[in-house]
Amino acid sequence: MIETTIIKVHGYHLDLYGHVNNTRYLEFLEEARWNIKEKYFDFPEVHEQGFGFVVVHTSINYRNPASLGDTLEIRTNVLRIGNKSATFRHEIYLQGTTKLIADAEVTFVIVNLATGKAISITGEWRAKLDLLQNN
């Protein structure tokens, strides 16, 4: 299943060249993942239970610039699930078009906050992530 997050580009997102600064895209992707965590994993309850999601790798491709006033549509799904890590796939489009602005893969682990160690992705964790896989 693909989840969609909408972001409007504001002036503080822009760099000296008048387009969205590359580091802002990481914040946009994080916003999309927080929306998913709140919808599927009942945050902050997960934190209260002693678990957290930790990003361990990000790969991003910048395809086209986005500018002031643009509305961006971030499409997110789970690309793959391993034993202790999983990867989100993000695609950012100019809303209402097929113009791809950026795409990214973000790998994360679920950490036991008390130990700082990644846990195995099994049971309910895997079932919820499976819902987000685009099979």
Which residues are CB-neighbours of 23 under 8 A, at least 6 positions away? none
Cα–Cα distance, 60 to 62 (Å, whole number): 7
The average pLDDT across 83-101 equals: 98
Q: Is pTM beyond 0.95 here? A: no
Active site residue 103: no
The average pLDDT across 65-85 equals: 97
pLDDT at residue 69 greater than cutoff 70 = yes
Fold (CATH) for 3-131: Thiol Ester Dehydrase; Chain A (3.10.129)
- Residue 127 is predicted with a pLDDT of 94
Cα–Cα distance, 101 to 82 (Å, whole number): 28
Cα–Cα distance, 79 to 1 (Å, whole number): 10
Catalytic-role residue among 15, 42, 103, 130: 15
Average pLDDT of the chain is 95
- Residue 134 is predicted with a pLDDT of 75
pLDDT in tens, 34-47: 999 999 998 888 88
- Residue 42 is predicted with a pLDDT of 85
Helix H or strand E encompassing 79: strand 71-81
- Predicted confidence band of residue 76 (pLDDT cuts 50, 70, 90): very high
> What are the domain boundaries of the chain?
3-131
pLDDT in tens, 15-67: 999 999 999 999 999 999 999 999 999 888 888 999 999 999 999 999 999 99
- Residue 43 is predicted with a pLDDT of 81
Peptide bond into 44 cis (omega under 30): yes
CB-based contact 78:135 (threshold 8 Å): no
